[in-house]
Structure 1
Amino acid sequence: QNASLAIGGSFFATTAESVVFGDGIEFSATEPNQAPLLTINITPGLQMGTNPVNITVVGPGQTLNGSIFAPFDRSNISSQLQVQPGNTLALLGGEISLRGGLLSAEGGQIEIAAVGSNNSRSMVELTPVASGWDIDLRGATITVADNSSILTQNEGHKSAGNTILHGTETVTIGENDANGSINTFVANLTISSGDGGDLDIITNNLNVFGGAQVLLNTFGEGAPGNINIVASESVNIIGLGALNRDNQSDFTSDVNSLTFSEATAGDITISTNQLRVVVANILTFTAGKGNGGNISINANESIEIVGLISGINDQGLVSAASFSEGDGGSVDINTTRLLLADGGIIGASAFGKGNAGIVTINASESITLLDTLPTPFTSTQISSTITRPPVFFQRLFGLDPIPTANAGKITINTSELTISGDSDTQDAQIRVRNQGSGNGGELVIKADTINLNYGASIASSTFSGQGGNIELDIRNGLLLRNGSTITTEAENDGDGGNITINSDLLTLIESSLINANANRGDGGEIKITTQGLFVFPDSAITASS
């Protein structure tokens, strides 16, 4: 407890019982009467015994000042277990616990391995508050909780190493204390000319909850690494941090890759069986000249993105965004079943000069967009948008009030697409939109069936640029009912986009609408190829300008 190191080299601590040398001779730490073999100069191995002893590092905790928008200030961190720059600090034992303790190796390596009985992997646990390394953690379960942190921050000119969390059973990151100065996080930051390393999480189940964050941020010239998550069973990114007295939280659970410089942001890649994002974010964005990172998600079974729980928050987000000159990244999703509900969003967006990225979604069985609850700010959607920035964003990122970027393309491939809004409040939608001077994006959907209900919409709109086109290729049938719409619109001087529909059967009932409209420019064309067209008297197909 409250220990410190005063050594010039590396430090290795273990609870192993003995060292076995290459010729089979053993030096025992538990039977000191055996003759020490001090003259052997060969690579040794450690014998942990049947029940390895645990290692616990206890300290008073540390305070980090910073946020996702700035590097962390480590000047006020007191030294505990620390080696000289360029050396290695390693812990090997049974369960490894840091309880308010600090391990630090500037420019070196920290390696932690938890070994269970009979050399099986055990548990690594970090609780308030640990920080400050380039790290490799390995065990059966790894837990980072209660405002703890794992931080790799490259402040030099050489490339940083990787941050690796390898939990054969579970990796858990969360949760936060409402009184904590900063949230629980695992971060790899690049703030100088040296390149950053990857942030790798390998496990069966990854849980990020309670406002915890996984961050890969770039503030300097160096190229960042990437976030790579491989979870054979599930990834769950869920919920807010602790609520304050106003029933609000300062933190959402996030997996983010951000750039504030000329460097391109790192990519986020997730491979799993099931992914759940509930009142949480998977986000890449650029606030500099560098382009935003790409998001690639492969979930063999299902993906769920949900935005509202008990009225506390209104958004679950998977998005690539641009707030400056750099282009936003792309979003690429592959799964069997995709569900977006109550403020769940998949999108690519831009607020400045940089263009929005491309969104590609392949779901072999079904895609469902569903609004069932009154979400006052955000509807469930798949979108590529150019949005006029609010005044706060204009000041924060130096943006013009009217963006000049172009919207991106959305491509969707599935068997069954269902979009259902809430008849009183929200309209679930798939859309491309440009509120600036650039062009609207393009929307292409291929499906066996498409059903729109309760005000649901597939839409393209532009303010003054060329309107975006909508192309629907449907093998069986397209049904619009209860005020649902498919529309292209040019709001100012731009020309409206075209609507092209190929479907065996097309049905519009209950005040539904297909419309191509332009205000001052030319209206778009509507082209329909079908074997059966049924438009009930209360519905319509129109083109106007």
Structure 2
Amino acid sequence: MTLYLENTTLAQIVPDNTLGTERSIVAPINPQLDRIDGGATRGTNLFHSFSEFNINDGRTLEFSNSTGIQNIFSRVTGQNPSNLFGTLRVLGDANLFFLNPNGIIFGPNAQLDLRGSFVGSTASSLLFSNGTQFSAKNAQVPPLLTVDVPFPIGLQFEGVPGAIQVQGSNLQTQQGKTLALLGGNVNLEGSYLLSPGGRVELGGIAEVGIVSIEGDSSNLRFSFPDGVLKADVSLSAQSKVDVLAGGGGNITINARNFNLSEESELIAGINNNMGSQGAKAGDITVNASDAILIKPEIESSGTIKKSGRITNIVFPDATGDSGNIFLNSNILELGDGAEINVSTSGKGNAGDIAINTRNDIFLAGGKLINGVSQQAEGNSGDIKIITDSLRLINGGEINASTSGNGNVGEINIRAGSISLDGINSRILNTVSKESNGDTKGINIDTNILSVKKGAEINASTSGIRDAGKITINASNMLLDGDNSKIVSSVSNGATGDSQGIEINTADLSVKNGAEINASTSGRGNSGSVTINADSVSLESRGQNPEKKSGIFTSVSRDAQGNSGEILINTNKLEVKNGAQINASISGKGNSNNIIINARNLISLIGEEEIPQRQDELTGIYASVSENAVGNSGDIRINTDILEVKNSAQINTSMSGLGTLGSIIINAEKEASFDGGSAFIGVRETGNIIEASNDKRDRRIEISTGSLYLNNGAQLSASTLGKGDSGRVVINAQDMISIDGVGRGNKLTESSGVFSAVESQAEGNGGNIEITASSISLKNGAQIRASTAGSGNPGTVVINAQNQLFFDGIASNGQPSGVISLVEATGKPITGQQTARGNIKINARSLSLTNGAEVNVSSLTSQPGFAGNIDITSPSIRLDRGGIKSQTTSGDGGNITLKVQDLLFMRHDSQISTTAGLAPSGGDGGNITIDASKGFIVAVPYENNDITANAYTGNGGRVTIKPKPEGIFGIEERKRETKFTSDITASSQLGIDGVVEIAVPDVDPSQGLTQLPDTPRTVAVNDGCQVSAGQEAVQFFDIGRGGTPPSPDDLLSVDTSLMEWSPFFAETTNSYKLETTNNSLRPDKDIQRKTFTSNLEALSTTQVSSFTAKMSPSCQSR
């Protein structure tokens, strides 16, 4: 607002009489010039006093002074403000202090013409160290008590100080001098304050207080008191405060509110074509007890006026270092287009930006910039921020970067809360394209960090040299929305490393397409991502389905370098609904390991609608992509409980050239896969290449208390390309439970553990090694090693301290069980004669029921052998179960069973090795059953068979080593029959095999007494006569009848009992027993009751006792 008056209304210079005979004198020189003479001289100081002081537009007023005067102190004791519309001049080199408590107005044509410094103030008096003062309000008080007055020490403000207004003025001091405007409110409108290499101070006080004067006549500085209410300072309408020079130059603002608007500017630094090596510009300092506001002004019409800026720079043709910018306030707000900029565009370094606000920093499109510009040579300084709240919206930016030759400083932020919201709202620490320099990184300490809606924190290099590390310490941390990210990267075309990301927080949430990413797209290594948190949650895709939430390290296509490690230490990790943890190689280089330590829980939960592409599934991935060259890292997981659900994955894969990483899981209490999977494999385009001295043990290794695989869950090691698949190793202290087939579009996939060489692949399958207390496979669940390509399926080794229980067939027809399979397209790998895998099982008990199988098969037309089955268990129970080996054209595999207690078969159970399912060659395999300390029991007429058959080849060999009298319900036959239980070794077109039942050379009747063949007369006591109509008793020899062969032998569990059946003479041998006893009465006949047993109904338990009908007297005994 313009407050000056027309020239005709202005009073001119009116001296007062307070200085007595030393009063000021106004001497007209010409119509446009007046000179001030007289005044009181004290040492090097000259004092003037006026009741009115105004300069009309176009006029000049000059102060004369004698030689030796350093300071002119001028006061206005009247009641009116001073209107300075013309030129204020000082003859000589003295500084001019001008005091008017009522206010000072500089008009549009106002100018300063002096070689010293200028202080314009609405203070009431000047204070001196000797206790005297030069007062404009108490002018009658003698101000000068000594002959020699020292330099003043302060400005005393009283009441409500008047305002200082600079309206369209151009006020300038000489090089290195001070220009200070200190009053109540200080307003610059369309004005220009210039002090090259000097000092400009603007400040306001709104109540009683003292502003200290520091320095001396040649270096004036001011210090505002704490605890005193300050007034406002504002610059508008393209006002500028400029101290640019070849060095030096300071700007200091002290205010309650500092408002910089409408393209107004504070500028310091080294000006064009100035400076020298070692030169340094001064600082810009703004101290606001309330707010620093640099933002657009919106007029009532809706017109938006641009923001201002604060700049401290080294210009393009300059040499030297820029100074710093210090901002201290309660609130800092930078609106759209506002800028705080410390940079170098010439030869020299940029200073620091240091901001300290008690409450809030709000960048609503405004920017904090510290950088090295293009073509510049020098380093940028740091950006240091301390605040309670930092908010960036609408493209708000904190940027420390280099586009030239030089290093970038560090960004340090300490805030109670930090929020970045919206696209281009970001914190950057970068090396630009074709630049040469390192960045020092970003350090953030806060309670709450929120990065949303496309905002980012980015430390990257696009030039030559390295990007710094991002370190974040936050109590709670949220990344939310598409392209919201924390990035440490080496960009395309860059040469250098990124130093990675470290996050320390209580709770980390990354969702809806947000990401934490350390990558390289150039020539250099990406840094690691390290997260230490109480809980970590990665969730959901963004609005763009291609945007997955997660944590990523990568080497991009055409890049050369290694990706860093992903290390997560937490109590709880959740990855769900499309989110991923992913370390990938698409160029040339190695990916590092993914290591997750979660003390309590790791939960991976996929989406309800399962994506078609496997790499889109929720999970943890380490991969080498197609056309890439490099090694994938391991995935290492340590937790109490691991759950993987709804098609979520843990996956290491090779689609390029290199080696494959492992998946190593240690879940102390439980690992549960419900429709989820762990996969390690070579893809169709993959080719495993390893140095001879760097062979890697590729594997899925799980150590846990209990393992559960349900609803199509799989642990799978496979190769679809060139190279061996890895091993699968499982150690469970308690149980392993595998159940069912998949859901949705995975109904054909069984739950299970798999090692596979797929069609067109070249390589061997890895072994499956499982150790547990007990293992259960149900409803089509499988443990399977297979090959459909060129190579052997792996060996399956299972050790169960207690029970193995395999049960059922899935709805898709797949049986539960352990499978080793060479499919029709399978063939030996180059240099090998056959493709086959083996199964080895060791358990306390093995149960195969309802279609479950242990199966080694070769369906290929290639010559060779099926694999072998080797089972050691005290108890093997088959109930509609099978132990099978079969081939299409090769020799059948061997089956070896070592049974300590019992082999039990019923309901169409099979132990078979069959060769030549197709009409082609192949001999039957061998079956060896060692039950020398146990029993072999098959329920008759239920078609339980032990077979070693062939088609055109020779039958195999069946060798059974039973315990004496230890085979029941099954017998050798030439051919199988439909209803009987058979032992066969036949061939349809070839020579039959051999069945050998090798009973140990022991006489089971040794030491026994033969019962007589005829009855003997038995004397019965009269008291025990059989009542009339009652039947007597007969005894028959029915064999063992449930007793063990020897008193030293124990009865076996799981026996088969047959019902008593009627006696038939033609099938039963009976013996009548007669005895005599002198104590019994022989003349009484004993009536007899007959009990019979079918000799084919065998029992290993004791026959139940019976009681004949007796007289009551006998019964009472």
TM range (shorter): 0.7 to 0.9
State the SS of the aligned residue for 2:602. strand
Q: Report matched runs for 1:264-275 at 5 Å.
A: 264-275=631-642
Tell me which residue corresponds to 1:54.
Answer: 417
In structure 2, do the counterparts of structure 1 residues 267 and 453 end up closer, same or farther at CA, with 3 Å as the change threshold? same
- Check whether the contact 2:502–2:531 (CA below 8 A) recurs between aligned residues: yes
Tell me which residue corresponds to 1:20.
Answer: none
Distance 1:164 1:127 in 2: 19
Tell me which residue corresponds to 1:469.
Answer: 838
Q: Deviation at 1:108?
A: 2.1
Q: Deviation at 1:317?
A: 1.1
- Check whether the contact 1:57–1:97 (CA below 8 A) recurs between aligned residues: yes
Tell me which residue corresponds to 1:299.
Answer: 667
Tell me which residue corresponds to 1:370.
Answer: 739
Distance 2:536 2:730 in 1: 28
The letter of the residue matching 1:206 is L
The letter of the residue matching 2:769 is T
What do residues 387-445 of structure 1 show as CA deviations (whole Å, max 9, x unaligned)?
Answer: 22xxxxxxxxxxxxx22221110000001000001xxxxx1100100011211210000
What do residues 356-412 of structure 1 show as CA deviations (whole Å, max 9, x unaligned)?
Answer: 111100001000001177652211010101122xxxxxxxxxxxxx22221110000
Distance 1:433 1:186 in 2: 34
Distance 2:413 2:734 in 1: 51
Distance 1:373 1:241 in 2: 13
The letter of the residue matching 2:903 is L
Match of 2:787 among 417, 422, 434: 434
State the SS of the aligned residue for 1:530. strand
Query: Does 2:650 match 1:288?
Result: no
Distance 2:792 2:509 in 1: 47
What do residues 29-66 of structure 1 show as CA deviations (whole Å, max 9, x unaligned)?
Answer: xxxxxxxxxxxxxxxxx997xxx621112222xxxxxx
The letter of the residue matching 1:385 is A
Q: Name which structure has the greater RCO, CA cutoff 8 Å, separation 6+.
A: 1
Q: Deviation at 1:12?
A: 4.7
Distance 1:154 1:452 in 2: 49
Normalised by the length of structure 1, the TM-score is: 0.80
Match of 1:479 among 839, 847, 871: 847
Distance 2:532 2:698 in 1: 28
Match of 1:512 among 876, 881, 885: 881
Query: Does 2:542 match 1:174?
Result: no
The letter of the residue matching 2:531 is L
Match of 1:449 among 803, 815, 819: 803
Q: Deviation at 1:342?
A: 0.6
Match of 1:321 among 660, 666, 681: 681
State the SS of the aligned residue for 2:891. coil
In structure 2, do the counterparts of structure 1 residues 243 and 367 end up closer, same or farther at CA, with 3 Å as the change threshold? closer
The letter of the residue matching 1:113 is I
Tell me which residue corresponds to 2:643.
Answer: 276
In structure 2, do the counterparts of structure 1 residues 329 and 385 end up closer, same or farther at CA, with 3 Å as the change threshold? same
Match of 2:430 among 59, 73, 84: 84
Q: Deviation at 1:158?
A: 3.4
The letter of the residue matching 1:203 is T
What do residues 123-145 of structure 1 show as CA deviations (whole Å, max 9, x unaligned)?
Answer: 11111232332322211111111
Distance 2:624 2:413 in 1: 45
Greater shift, 223-232 or 189-198, is seen at 189-198
Distance 1:386 1:432 in 2: 8
Match of 1:223 among 590, 609, 623: 590
What do residues 315-366 of structure 1 show as CA deviations (whole Å, max 9, x unaligned)?
Answer: x110101012117931111001000001110110111221111110000100
In structure 2, do the counterparts of structure 1 residues 412 and 10 end up closer, same or farther at CA, with 3 Å as the change threshold? farther
Distance 2:804 2:705 in 1: 17
What do residues 183-202 of structure 1 show as CA deviations (whole Å, max 9, x unaligned)?
Answer: 21211002322222111111
Query: Does 2:478 match 1:125?
Result: yes
Greater shift, 190-199 or 140-149, is seen at 190-199
Tell me which residue corresponds to 1:213.
Answer: 580
Match of 1:406 among 752, 764, 771: 764
User: Aligned residue pairs: how many?
Assistant: 460
The letter of the residue matching 1:254 is G
Q: Deviation at 1:520?
A: 1.0
In structure 2, do the counterparts of structure 1 residues 461 and 437 end up closer, same or farther at CA, with 3 Å as the change threshold? same
Q: Structure 2 regions of 5+ residues with no counterpart?
A: 1-363, 372-379, 389-411, 432-437, 461-465, 489-499, 690-696, 810-815, 829-834, 916-1117
In structure 2, do the counterparts of structure 1 residues 110 and 4 end up closer, same or farther at CA, with 3 Å as the change threshold? farther
Greater shift, 204-213 or 82-91, is seen at 82-91
Distance 1:199 1:373 in 2: 31
Distance 2:430 2:615 in 1: 36
Q: Report matched runs for 1:20-169 at 5 Å.
A: 53-60=416-423, 80-85=426-431, 86-87=438-439, 88-100=441-453, 101-106=455-460, 107-115=466-474, 122-128=475-481, 129-131=483-485, 132-133=487-488, 134-167=500-533, 169=534
In structure 2, do the counterparts of structure 1 residues 218 and 452 end up closer, same or farther at CA, with 3 Å as the change threshold? same
Q: Structure 1 regions of 5+ residues with no counterpart?
A: 18-45, 61-77, 116-121, 308-315, 389-401, 422-426
Q: Deviation at 1:236?
A: 0.5
- Check whether the contact 1:358–1:409 (CA below 8 A) recurs between aligned residues: yes
- Check whether the contact 2:459–2:470 (CA below 8 A) recurs between aligned residues: no
Query: Does 2:866 match 1:496?
Result: yes
Which one has a bigger Cα radius of gyration?
A: 2
Greater shift, 196-205 or 334-343, is seen at 196-205
In structure 2, do the counterparts of structure 1 residues 484 and 243 end up closer, same or farther at CA, with 3 Å as the change threshold? closer
Normalised by the length of structure 2, the TM-score is: 0.40
Tell me which residue corresponds to 1:23.
Answer: none
In structure 2, do the counterparts of structure 1 residues 446 and 262 end up closer, same or farther at CA, with 3 Å as the change threshold? same
Match of 1:6 among 347, 369, 382: 369
- Check whether the contact 2:554–2:585 (CA below 8 A) recurs between aligned residues: yes
The letter of the residue matching 1:282 is I
- Check whether the contact 1:337–1:364 (CA below 8 A) recurs between aligned residues: yes
- Check whether the contact 1:341–1:369 (CA below 8 A) recurs between aligned residues: yes
- Check whether the contact 1:286–1:322 (CA below 8 A) recurs between aligned residues: yes
- Check whether the contact 1:14–1:91 (CA below 8 A) recurs between aligned residues: no
Distance 2:592 2:757 in 1: 28
Q: Deviation at 1:94?
A: 2.0
In structure 2, do the counterparts of structure 1 residues 352 and 177 end up closer, same or farther at CA, with 3 Å as the change threshold? same
Q: Deviation at 1:16?
A: 5.8
In structure 2, do the counterparts of structure 1 residues 59 and 3 end up closer, same or farther at CA, with 3 Å as the change threshold? farther
Distance 1:412 1:16 in 2: 57
The sequence identity of aligned pairs, in percent, is: 25
Distance 1:201 1:361 in 2: 23
- Check whether the contact 2:740–2:750 (CA below 8 A) recurs between aligned residues: yes
In structure 2, do the counterparts of structure 1 residues 7 and 15 end up closer, same or farther at CA, with 3 Å as the change threshold? closer
Distance 2:480 2:894 in 1: 61
- Check whether the contact 1:284–1:319 (CA below 8 A) recurs between aligned residues: yes
Query: Does 2:716 match 1:358?
Result: no
The letter of the residue matching 2:736 is I
The letter of the residue matching 2:674 is V
- Check whether the contact 1:242–1:249 (CA below 8 A) recurs between aligned residues: no
Distance 2:589 2:614 in 1: 33
